[in-house]
Amino acid sequence: MFHTIYVGSTSVCFELENQSPFYAPEPWRAMMDGRIVREGRENVFSLFGLKPGRDYAVTLCSGSREHTLRFTTKDESCAVSVKDFGAKGDGVTVDTTAIQWAVLLLPEDGRLVFPPGTYLTGPIMLKSHMTLELTEGAILKGLTDKAAYPVIPAGMIDMDGDDEVRFGTFEGQPKSMYASLITAEYAEDIRVIGPGRVDGDAQNGIWWQTFQQDPIARPRLLFFNACNGVTVHGIDAANSPSWQLHPYKCWNMAFYDVSVSAPKDSPNTDALDPESCDGVDIVGCRFSVGDDCIAIKSGKLGPEAEAHWPAIQHTIRNCMMAFGHGAIVLGSEISGGIKALSVSQCLFRQTDRGLRIKTRRGRGRECDIDGISFDNIRMEGVLTPIVMNMWYRCVDPDGDSDYVQNRNPVPVDDRTPRLGSFRFSNMECVDAQVAACYCDGLPEQPIESVTLENVRVRFAEDARPGVPSMFTNAPARCRLGLWFENVRSVRLKHVIVEGQAGEALLTRGVEEIITE
Confidence label for 303 from pLDDT (cuts 50, 70 and 90): low
Which of 79-88, 391-400, 506-515 has the lowest average pLDDT? 391-400
CA contacts within 13 A on the Cβ side of 196? 23
Report the mean per-residue pLDDT for the chain. Answer: 95
- Nearest to 294, CA basis, from 335, 251, 338, 252: 338
CA distance 473 to 475: 6
Mean pLDDT confidence for 122-137: 98
Name residue 164's amino acid: E
Task: Note the pLDDT of residue 393.
Answer: 83
Residue 458 has pLDDT above 60, yes or no: yes
The conformation of residue 100, written as its DSSP 8-state character, comes to: H
The single residue of 325, 352, 396, 440 carrying the catalytic annotation is 325
Phi, psi of 97 (to 5 degrees): -65, -45
Confidence label for 307 from pLDDT (cuts 50, 70 and 90): low
**CB distance 94 to 118 below 8 Å:** no
Judge whether 398 counts as a catalytic residue: no
**CB distance 193 to 10 below 8 Å:** yes
Task: Note the pLDDT of residue 300.
Answer: 87
Name residue 476's amino acid: A
Mean pLDDT confidence for 401-417: 91
Three-state secondary structure call for residue 166: strand
CA distance 509 to 207: 45
Using only the alpha carbons of the chain, give its radius of gyration. 23
Mean pLDDT confidence for 173-180: 94
Residue 399 has pLDDT above 90, yes or no: no
Mean pLDDT confidence for 228-255: 98
Strands (E), 265-367: 278-283, 286-288, 294-296, 311-317, 320-322, 326-331, 338-349, 353-358
Query: What element of type H or E holds 405?
Result: helix 402-405
Percent of the chain whose pLDDT exceeds 90: 88
Confidence label for 167 from pLDDT (cuts 50, 70 and 90): very high
What CATH code would you report for 2-72?
A: 2.60.40.10
Mean pLDDT confidence for 262-283: 96
Percent of the chain whose pLDDT exceeds 70: 98
Mean pLDDT confidence for 224-241: 98
Task: Note the pLDDT of residue 403.
Answer: 87
CA distance 332 to 326: 12
**CB distance 481 to 452 below 8 Å:** no
Three-state secondary structure call for residue 204: helix
Alpha helices in 4-125 (DSSP H): 96-105
Query: What element of type H or E holds 402?
Result: helix 402-405
Judge whether 291 counts as a catalytic residue: yes
Task: Note the pLDDT of residue 344.
Answer: 98
Neighbour-count burial for 431-444, b at 16+ CB within 10 Å, e otherwise: bbbbbbbbbbbbee
Confidence label for 302 from pLDDT (cuts 50, 70 and 90): low
Task: Note the pLDDT of residue 301.
Answer: 80
Name residue 280's amino acid: V
Three-state secondary structure call for residue 147: helix
Task: Note the pLDDT of residue 402.
Answer: 85
Q: Is 487 exposed, middle or buried (0-12, 13-18, 19+ CB in 10 A)?
A: buried
**CB distance 118 to 139 below 8 Å:** yes
Neighbour-count burial for 369-379, b at 16+ CB within 10 Å, e otherwise: bbbbebbbbbb
What are the extents of the domains in the chain?
2-72, 76-271, 292-516
What CATH code would you report for 76-271?
A: 2.160.20.10
Task: Note the pLDDT of residue 161.
Answer: 78
The single residue of 199, 201, 278, 291 carrying the catalytic annotation is 291
pLDDT in tens, 327-369: 999 999 999 999 999 999 999 999 999 999 999 998 999 999 9
